[in-house]
Amino acid sequence: MPEIYLIIMVVSLLAYGVIYGASTEGRYSQLKKITWLSIITLILTSFIVMYLYSQLDGRIEIAGIIGIDKFNLFVKEIVLFSGAAVLLLSLDSYTQENIKEFEYTQLVLLSILGMLILVSSQDLIILYLAIELISLSLYTLAAIKRDKELSTEAGLKYFIMGALSSGLLLIGCTILYIETGDTNFIAISNYVIYSVNPGIELGALMVIIAMLFKLAAAPFHMWVPDVYEGSPTIVTGYFAIVPKIALLTILINLLFGPFLGIWNNMLQAVILGSAILSIIIASIGGINQAMFKRLIGYSAIGHMGFMLLGIGVATFASIQATLIYAVLYILMSINSFACVLCIWRGGENHISRLCTISRTSPILAITFVICLFSIAGIPPLAGFLSKYLVLLTAVEGKFTILAIIAVLFTCISCFYYLRLIHYIYFQDKSLYLVRALNENVEKKNRSVREISIERSLLLGSTLYVILTLLIYPQPLLMLSFDCLINSLY
């Protein structure tokens, strides 16, 4: 039901955009109308998902290719919420980023549709088609500013690396089909229980590597900083916020479904090795970054390392910790990008532009600082809770050395978050004046206190969760437990 409704609305909004997108009211005005209609569409879709969650008892299989349970319904709800949040942030970004194409919202909706299908897929063919629907939408979003060289370059790099990972995924799926004679997850799982050979292990390994490509985990991360830097800021936020949890979900479904019978030291070593390498590379690579979007790229790689660490431990508690980490990461990313979009109204994204924020908008400055502390994992904020749960499960799973390495490099990564705070409160204002492109940039930043109601709503709600979840985390813990207990066991 959610996917069918979303397909109908995407087609309807596309027709509306074609007819009225270039009306006399102005392209920005029509784009905002289409954006509001898209937000309403996502909200209504989330109501359908909530209704299904309340009515579902157990698991439903549809034609052997779609599986519905509380776990993937919960993930769908998170995807829809985060997608609506990004569209809300986009309303004031169209003039800042000079985005006039109404197709922007349709590409966002199409990628969200692909994510909804992806998390429910129980067949390799459906999985591949869903990933391609997501990827093609994201390639176009990265290059949506066709008159900007960096945006075009970002789209091209994303396409090349995405095509490579899609090729690996398709080859892996082909090998699995040749060895097992089926593409259904349950059929592959039943076959693997009784017969395992190097061909099946090779196919599973290639599928996992392709998923690590899509997740931007090391050592398959090289495209991330360039794509994040070249894309419009709101598109960068969308890349960092929404697709991660859907891709993590299908990776969990694969490891605890068709690949459970071949879960061995090799596959576990690939996941855990990629996790630790992501944490190390992100901690070191982000230190010298002066552009905020490249810094966010390395930060995303590091957070992905922690989530993969939870998956690699492969216990119920570690999967629950990974799900909680993903939810909190989305909330913190929404808050941080809302702050950034309020601070930088066009122009370059050099971190020296933070220098005047504590003077021009002290409330926004303290909000951004609290969010940065949470992302860094400083107690007693929500980011500390997420890291603590993952590291605790790693220690309980006898991966103490990996947990120690993660803690040490997390301390190193705190440096570049603290550097941003230093620029906000302690950096000499003259540095900003040197870095400013022109005098209008200063004027734009003086108007930063005029924040729209949409961004204020997102800033307030996400900050509230960040401040209160460590004090009262039971609702999130119980919800994650409830949706996983009936799905993984």
Local confidence pLDDT in tens for the 489 residues of the chain:
889 999 999 899 888 888 876 654 566 778 888 889 999 999 999 999 999 888 887 788 887 788 888 888 999 999 999 999 999 988 877 777 777 778 888 999 999 999 999 999 999 999 999 999 999 999 999 888 877 788 888 888 888 888 889 999 999 999 999 988 888 888 888 888 877 788 888 899 999 999 998 898 888 888 888 888 888 888 888 998 888 899 999 998 888 888 887 877 678 888 999 999 999 999 998 888 888 888 888 989 999 999 999 998 988 899 999 999 999 999 999 998 888 888 876 656 777 777 778 777 888 889 898 999 999 888 888 888 899 999 999 999 889 999 999 999 989 888 888 888 888 887 665 555 545 444 444 444 444 447 778 888 888 888 888 888 878 888 888 888 888 887 665
Which one-letter amino acid corresponds to residue 342? C
Give the whole-angstrom CA distance, residue 270 versus residue 276.
10
Q: Which two tokens stand for residue 121?
A: 């897929």
How much is the pLDDT for 110?
93
Reference 334, options 217, 245, 249; nearest CA is: 245
pTM metric for this prediction: 0.91
Report helix, strand or coil for 484: helix
CB hemisphere CA count around 207 (13 angstroms): 28
CB atoms closer than 10 angstroms to residue 291: 15
Beta strands in 122-222 (DSSP E): none
How much is the pLDDT for 404?
94
Give the whole-angstrom CA distance, residue 311 versus residue 318.
6
Radius of gyration of the chain (CA): 22
Give the whole-angstrom CA distance, residue 53 versus residue 48.
9
Beta bridge partners of 60: 68
Beta bridge partners of 350: 291
Chain centre to alpha carbon of residue 345: 23
Is the bond into 243 cis (omega within 30 degrees of 0)?
no
DSSP 1-16: -HHHHHHHHHHHHHHH
Reference 219, options 283, 276, 140, 147; nearest CA is: 276
Give the whole-angstrom CA distance, residue 48 versus residue 426.
48
Do the beta carbons of residue 248 and residue 326 sit within 8 Å?
yes
Give the whole-angstrom CA distance, residue 333 versus residue 242.
10
Give the whole-angstrom CA distance, residue 102 versus residue 301.
31
Give the whole-angstrom CA distance, residue 15 versus residue 13.
5
